[in-house]
């Protein structure tokens, strides 16, 4: 059934005769303390008629800086106007190919970063429960001494380095590099808890774990399927591209438990039970297979293992799908027919699909649907995976992940040796920085800590709380460094609070104090260091579509804040490894008198090493030239039409093969064989071998236009060039570099470890993809579920389905920790006492954990209270009225949050929704007085994750936030 805007909307509230918009709900429900604080800024004397002032006689010239919005991953261009060092005005860039002059609420408030006062202004230290201002030098000395003492006594793994998706590419890369010089893989960032299941699922299907097309390319889509994505609120500017496609005739389908603002734009909407994505997708494929709507030729040429998918899909008949997922047979068939008869079609997913204990199964199922329809590697098709932070894509590609080095090189000895060559340091010296003991590996045998995944951020608290005997490292975590991370964005806040109280040392490095500074009952040994915002430094960021963009520095750092890479350098000097870590990175004096690593040199360093994903062709010069020529790029194809960047794609989307001198234009659509590799074409990556179970994994009679090899082929090595007779195309310098890497066995040097780029260059010269030409695989034999299957959430509302769709058995070792599955699910039927499925998501006004955006007066005015959306049926059953203060109680540890009820038919009976951007209250207690003076956000509220529960994806340790249980009762 298709709902009309009049019949249901996430913005409509009803109950006891009440009907109003969400804005009216917030306005009429009474101001929270934060809202009152905002209102208090505007006295009657301030409310007066305004007139244009005469320009000051000594006003300096106005400079216009080009920057990029620091919120979601669309990558909107912004013109920032600066006068006398002050950010005086901003405009959305009308000539920018992504946002075309548009801003969302968050983007329109960017200038607050440069004029806002609700920031950390100087270093602070907690002394007997009071914040004390200290100089930077003292802060670095004390923090350094404490962490070095822990390193010496408990081992390098006892300090956890938590990085950020808010770092630019260069800072994220440096922080990833940091692990080798400190000597621990206990390092991670936000991507773990937003799209790690995407990266794992998608990369293991067709080669790379990233968005295949672009927002702009959706103009060419004939169908758009959104599942677990509320783009209208989470990626508002992306909606102009979505609606442009719709105006061109594209069908818009939205699958979501909740009727969202995105659903209000849809041609067809289906509500499913949270946590049943795989049954729904398999139900769609059931109809596609039954009707012969699959693309048989495409499958034969480019897809492996679909017969095993058919066997699983056959189990998901319309009646079974309806029983498990709520979706009615006619709804599922309608979606299948719309996708099949409107090609090319794209699929869009976000955290509604990823944040599950089977998140990797969900993302692989989405990919399989697209492969069956032949929708991958075509303009208007693909997987448009919208990311949540301005640089979460780049930070994932280059930055601090607990299981990979930059460029997804993994943690093998070969990967470490590659990066040791790039850094020009001795591999054995790097290895010596790690704990020398061997530990039990996940798959058996003993493993060196250097080659073992670290503890993921989703479970850092277990690294503190678990007994020493249960952790696969020398000692538990003793110190946490939260560097640009909001802890309220993670589940199990009560356990985080307990862990914070047990830490020897807690360091928060951020423009804002964040709730990490105030959550625990700590009295001493907590440090707050004021980091600059991204508008007080410069460098590159990678948008969701893999495009890199250069940011100007808009203003000098405010107060006593310092850019992240400056702080990294200060700490590296204190720890004694600055000379090695910055060996080929120039250090300059900045305007504050600090020693600052040169951003351009950091780019050149990751250009030298990141061959896997093609972060090698985007030199600083190329990125800066594109930044000055936004207006020359076509707003659909993203290709420059004349001008200085003629023929290049905007942002040189990776892979941008070879060296910058090769002038590769970037790859706008992954796996598209309709154009030569040299012009942005590709095939599927050969990263899983050449055969499995006796069946070839290489492409069959499918190859990029202009390829000299007219069929599938493995990834390129020097030995393969020799067999083809193409080794003579290498230059003497390239040959020398290959021999240096390979030593006595140069044949084994491959396209990923050849520092000269010669193997890539020669392969592309002959029209071939350096990474080979294979089939995408629908069966991932290394995963616990080779074929994606449905498993009920640990806290399921359908306890009767557990016997048929059970979760996994408990694991003794997973990312260094024991992980519970069946013991939680089988403990008892939680749905009896906690009958409501609890989901969470974003609001248009706030970003991430919200500390930053709730500290901006204009945004804070728009959203003043934390709330829960609840259906009238559930509200009436619980004796809850619209606007009433309620307790939302979770099934673990008696956890509860005190929030306001918003009664709305936008959520179906049995489901409640809460936003995840709030913090500063804990189980009814207001923590405002614990913040440093003047640094608390205007708006505080309960964190929804205080009431969320245990549950992690078995492949990535992604947290479960979209299918847990709760109850709502009057406060």
Residue 235 three-state SS: coil
C-alpha distances out from residue 733 to 255, 410, 722, 775, Å: 54, 28, 17, 34
Backbone phi, psi, residue 724, to 5°? -80, -10
Distance, CA of 681 to CA of 670 (rounded, Å): 7
CB distance 520 to 531 below 8 Å: no
Cβ proximity of 57 and 69 under 8 Å: no
What CA–CA distance (Å, rounded) separates 477 from 455? 10
Q: Nearest CA to 119 among 844, 938, 918? A: 938
Q: Report CA dihedral (814, 815, 818, 821) to the nearest 10 degrees.
A: -50
410: alpha, beta or left? (left if phi > 0; alpha if psi -120 to 50):
left
* CB-CB contact of 367 with 383 (8 Å): yes
**Residue 571: predicted pLDDT:** 98
Contact yes or no for 536/553 (Cβ under 8 A): yes
CB atoms within 10 A of CB 304: 26
Cβ atoms within 10 Å of 196's Cβ, excluding its own: 31
Q: What is the DSSP letter of 290?
A: H
pLDDT at residue 28 in the model? 52
Extract the tokens encoding 425: 């340091």
Q: Which of 662, 697, 699 has its CA nearest to residue 680?
A: 662
The residue whose two tokens read 């910055």 is: 582
Distance CA 656, CA 664 (A): 6
CB 146 within 8 A of CB 462: no
Alpha helix (H) ranges present in 453-544?
Answer: 460-465, 493-502
Within its chain, how far is the Cα of 660 from the centroid?
Answer: 27
CB distance 342 to 815 below 8 Å: no
Q: How far is CA 716 from CA 144, 694, 749, 945, in A?
A: 45, 22, 9, 46
| Ordered DSSP codes for 931-964 | SPTT-S-S--EE-GGGS----B-TTT--B--SSE
CB 470 within 8 A of CB 817: yes
Q: Find all residues with CB under 8 Å of 960, minimum gap 6, and list them.
A: 355, 356, 357, 491, 793, 794, 948, 949, 950, 951, 952, 953
Q: Which helix (H) or strand (E) holds 427?
A: helix 427-432
CA distance 14 to 7: 11
First to last CA, the chain: 36
Residue whose structure tokens are 């979760």? 807
Q: Distance (Å, rounded) from C-alpha 257 to C-alpha 264? A: 13
Residues 6+ away with beta carbon under 8 Å from 578: 569, 572
Name the 3-class secondary structure at 928: helix
Distance CA 504, CA 464 (A): 10
Give the pTM.
0.94
Q: Helix, strand or coil for residue 281?
A: helix
| Cβ atoms < 10 Å from Cβ of 746 | 18
pLDDT the model gives residue 59: 76
Encoded tokens for 663 = 């002038």
pLDDT of residue 33: 41
- Answer whether 680's CB lies under 8 Å from 280's CB: no
**Residue 566: both structure tokens together:** 């400056």
Report the number of secondary-structure helices (H) and strands (E) in the chain.
31, 38
Could you identify the residue written with the tokens 């010239």?
61
The mean pLDDT values, 10 residues at a time, for the chain of 971 residues are: 34 37 50 41 41 63 97 96 96 97 95 93 98 98 98 98 96 98 98 96 97 98 98 96 98 98 98 98 98 98 98 98 98 98 98 97 98 98 95 97 98 98 98 97 95 98 96 98 96 98 98 96 98 97 98 97 98 98 98 97 98 98 98 98 98 98 98 98 97 97 98 98 98 96 94 98 98 98 98 98 98 98 97 98 95 95 96 98 98 97 98 97 97 96 98 98 97 97
H or E segment to which residue 302 belongs: helix 296-302
List alpha helices for 82-195, DSSP H: 105-108, 112-115, 136-154, 169-182
Which residues, 6+ apart, have CB-to-CB distance to 408 below 8 Å?
203, 209, 397, 612, 613
Helix/strand/coil (H, E, C) string of 82-107?
Answer: EECCEEEEEEECCCCCCCCCCCCHHH
For residues 251, 252, 257, 260, the Cα torsion angle rounded to the nearest 10 degrees is -150
């Amino acid at each position: 059934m298709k709902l009309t805007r009049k019949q249901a909307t996430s913005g409509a509230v009803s109950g006891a005769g009440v009907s109003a918009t969400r804005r009216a709900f917030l306005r009429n429900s009474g101001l929270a303390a934060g809202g009152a604080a905002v209102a208090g800024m505007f006295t009657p004397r301030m409310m007066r008629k305004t007139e244009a002032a005469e320009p000051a006689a000594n006003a300096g010239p106005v400079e216009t800086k080009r920057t990029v919005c620091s919120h979601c991953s669309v990558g909107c261009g912004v013109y920032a106007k600066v006068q006398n060092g002050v950010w005086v005005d901003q405009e959305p860039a009308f000539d920018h190919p992504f946002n075309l002059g548009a801003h969302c609420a968050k983007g329109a408030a960017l200038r607050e970063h440069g004029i806002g006062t609700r920031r950390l202004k100087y270093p602070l230290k907690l002394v007997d429960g009071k914040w004390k201002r200290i100089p930077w030098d003292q802060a670095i000395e004390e923090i350094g001494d404490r962490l070095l003492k822990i390193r010496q006594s408990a081992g390098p793994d006892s300090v956890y380095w938590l990085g950020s998706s808010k770092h630019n590419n260069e800072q994220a890369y440096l922080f990833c590099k940091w692990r080798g010089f400190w000597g621990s893989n206990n390092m991670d960032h936000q991507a773990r808890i937003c799209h790690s299941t995407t990266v794992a699922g998608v990369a293991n299907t067709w080669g790379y774990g990233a968005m295949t097309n672009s927002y702009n390319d959706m103009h060419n889509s004939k169908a758009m399927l959104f599942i677990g994505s509320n783009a209208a609120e989470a990626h508002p500017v992306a909606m102009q591209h979505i609606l442009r496609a719709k105006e061109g005739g594209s069908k818009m389908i939205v699958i979501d438990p909740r009727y969202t603002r995105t659903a209000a734009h849809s041609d067809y909407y289906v509500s499913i039970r949270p946590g049943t994505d795989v049954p729904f997708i398999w139900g769609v494929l059931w109809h596609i297979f039954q009707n012969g709507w699959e693309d048989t030729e495409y499958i034969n040429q480019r897809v492996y293992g679909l017969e095993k998918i058919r066997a699983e899909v056959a189990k998901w008949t319309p009646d079974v799908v309806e029983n498990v997922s709520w979706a009615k047979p006619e709804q599922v068939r309608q979606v299948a027919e719309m996708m099949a008869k409107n090609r090319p079609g794209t699929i869009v997913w976000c955290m509604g699909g990823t944040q599950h204990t089977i998140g990797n199964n969900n993302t692989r199922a989405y990919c399989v649907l697209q492969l069956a329809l032949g929708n991958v590697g075509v303009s208007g098709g693909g997987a448009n995976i919208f990311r949540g932070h301005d640089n979460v894509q780049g930070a994932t590609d280059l930055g601090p992940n607990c299981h990979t080095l930059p460029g997804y090189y993994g943690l093998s000895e070969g990967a470490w040796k590659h990066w040791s060559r790039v850094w020009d340091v001795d591999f054995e010296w790097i290895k010596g920085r790690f704990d020398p003991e061997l530990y039990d590996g996940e798959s058996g045998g003993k493993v060196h800590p250097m080659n073992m995944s670290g503890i993921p951020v989703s479970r850092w608290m277990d690294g503190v709380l678990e007994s020493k005997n249960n952790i696969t490292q020398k000692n538990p975590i003793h110190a946490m460094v939260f560097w640009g991370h909001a802890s309220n964005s993670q589940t199990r806040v009560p356990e985080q609070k307990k862990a914070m109280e047990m830490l020897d040392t807690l360091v928060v490095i951020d423009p804002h104090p964040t709730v990490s500074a105030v959550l625990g009952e700590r009295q001493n040994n907590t440090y707050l260091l004021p980091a600059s915002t991204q508008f007080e430094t410069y460098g590159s960021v990678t948008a969701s579509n893999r495009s890199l963009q250069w940011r100007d520095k808009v203003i000098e750092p405010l107060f006593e804040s310092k850019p992240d890479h400056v702080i990294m350098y200060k700490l590296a000097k204190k720890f004694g490894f600055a000379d090695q870590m910055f060996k080929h990175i120039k250090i300059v004096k900045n305007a504050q008198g600090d020693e600052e690593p040169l951003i351009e040199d950091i780019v050149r360093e990751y250009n030298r090493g990141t061959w896997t994903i093609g972060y090698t062709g985007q030199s600083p010069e190329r990125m800066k030239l594109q930044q000055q020529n936004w207006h020359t790029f076509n707003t659909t194809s993203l290709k420059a039409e004349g001008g200085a960047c003629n023929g290049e794609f905007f942002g040189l989307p990776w892979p941008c093969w070879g060296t910058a001198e090769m002038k590769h234009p970037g790859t706008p659509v992954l796996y598209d064989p309709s154009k030569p590799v040299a012009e942005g074409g590709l095939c599927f990556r050969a990263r899983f071998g050449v055969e499995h179970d006796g069946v070839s994994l290489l492409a069959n009679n499918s190859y990029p236009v202009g390829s000299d090899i007219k069929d599938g082929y493995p990834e390129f090595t020097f030995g393969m060039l020799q067999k083809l007779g193409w080794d003579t195309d290498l230059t003497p310098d390239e040959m020398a570099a290959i021999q240096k890497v390979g030593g006595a066995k140069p044949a084994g040097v491959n396209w990923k470890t050849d520092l000269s780029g010669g193997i890539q260059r020669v392969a592309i010269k002959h029209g071939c993809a350096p990474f080979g030409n294979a089939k995408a695989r629908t069966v991932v034999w290394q995963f616990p579920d080779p074929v994606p299957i449905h498993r009920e959430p640990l806290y399921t509302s359908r306890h009767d389905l557990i016997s048929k769709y059970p979760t996994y058995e408990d694991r003794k070792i997973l990312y260094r920790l024991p992980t519970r599955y069946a013991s939680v699910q089988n403990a008892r039927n939680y749905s009896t006492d906690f009958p409501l499925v609890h989901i969470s998501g974003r609001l248009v006004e706030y970003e991430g954990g919200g500390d930053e955006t709730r500290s901006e007066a204009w945004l804070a005015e728009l959203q003043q209270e934390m709330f829960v959306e609840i259906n009238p049926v559930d509200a009436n059953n619980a004796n809850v009225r619209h606007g009433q203060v309620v307790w939302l109680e979770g099934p673990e540890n008696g956890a509860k949050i005190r929030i306001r009820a918003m009664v709305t038919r936008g959520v179906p009976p049995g489901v409640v929704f809460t936003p995840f951007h709030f913090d500063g209250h804990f189980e009814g207690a207001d923590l405002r007085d614990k913040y440093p003076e003047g640094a608390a956000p205007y708006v505080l509220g309960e964190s929804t994750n205080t009431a969320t529960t245990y549950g992690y994806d078995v492949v990535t340790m992604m947290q479960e936030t979209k299918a847990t249980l709760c109850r709502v009762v009057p406060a």
